[in-house]
Amino acid sequence: MILDLFKLDGKVAVVTGSGRGIGQAYAVALAEAGADVALVDVIPMDETAAKIEALGRKVCAVTADLSNGETAAPAIIAEVVKQLGGVDILVNNAGIIRREPFTEHSAKNWNDVLSVNLSTPFFLSQAAARQMIAQGRGGKIINIASMLSFQGGILVPGYAASKGGIKSLTMLMANELAAHGICTNAIAPGYIATENTRPIRENPARNEAILNRIPAGRWGTPEDLMSAVVFLASPASDYMNGHTLAVDGGWLAR
């Protein structure tokens, strides 16, 4: 049956930034598909953990500061292996955004955003890929891109640069890791109603301009992204590699 290809029974997934919002939706979706899930965040993850436990899946929560991925990544993967026995799926969801005009954008904001949004996914993917290769059963790495992986945007130079980098890194990883049975793809969410986008939604002019461009006529929700992450984590996407999948209500088509 075709639906069997979307099952994740026996798999272990790691989801960063899974304490709330989109990361929580990704983690719950993977658990609903059958995976045990390791949550990684700097904020409390009790709510997400309770949702996963209610589904009858194993869950562990790893509290980690993702501003220094080079140090954090090996420890995170080692802890997941210790608690859940391995790593089959990695979702690099954690990210931050800092809004300032290009000419005023501080070095701190630039460095902070690039560190969390681009460097940490690199180091985490590296650590996870090493574990997947050692296990010898392949795996799935899912990066989180953005509409700004395709467009320049305004007022967020660090974020735009990081998400452009994620799209390219995804392709590089696909080229190098495919021989080990590891597929690397990315999800590019459109305009989703989260804490990160609250300042835009609370600006009447910006909110109206965005809604007028989305063919679907509404902001997306974290739930709109759940099926995409299950697809990319499952055997259903085994011949998809290096692709950035836009889930945007038609934004890029306008």
Residue 6: CB atoms within 10 A of its CB come to 17
**Alpha helices of the chain — where are they, by DSSP H?**
21-32, 46-54, 69-84, 107-114, 120-135, 157-177, 198-201, 204-213, 226-233
The torsion angles phi and psi of 63, rounded to 5 degrees, stand at -80, 125
Active site residues: 159
Mean pLDDT by 10 residues, the chain (254 residues): 96 98 98 98 98 98 97 98 98 96 98 98 98 98 98 96 98 98 98 90 94 97 98 98 98 96
Residue 196's pLDDT is: 79
- Cα 143–146–149 angle (5° rounding)? 95
Closest CA to 150 of 245, 16, 218, 249: 245
How far apart CA 185 and CA 32 sit, in angstroms, is 21
Give the CA angle between residues 104, 105, 110 to the nearest 5°. 165
What pTM does this model have? Answer: 0.97
Residue 245's alpha-carbon distances to 53, 121, 166, 189, in angstroms, are 29, 17, 12, 8
pLDDT at 185: 99
Position 63 scores a pLDDT of 98
152, 145 contact by CB (below 8 A) = no
Tokens, residue 35: 């995976």
Q: Coil, strand or helix: which one is 58?
A: coil
Which residues partner with 89 through β-bridges? Answer: 13, 140
pLDDT value, residue 171: 98
The CA-CA-CA angle for residues 220, 226, 227, to 5°, reads 110
Which residue bears the tokens 């931050």?
Answer: 96
Residue type at 65?
A: D
What pLDDT, on a 0 to 100 scale, did the predictor assign at position 195?
A: 84
Q: Is the dihedral of CA 45, 90, 149, 101 positive or negative?
A: positive
Query: In the structure encoding, which two tokens stand for residue 4, read together?
Result: 């069997």
CA 217 – CA 35 distance, rounded (Å): 33
CATH number for the domain whose boundaries are 2-247: 3.40.50.720
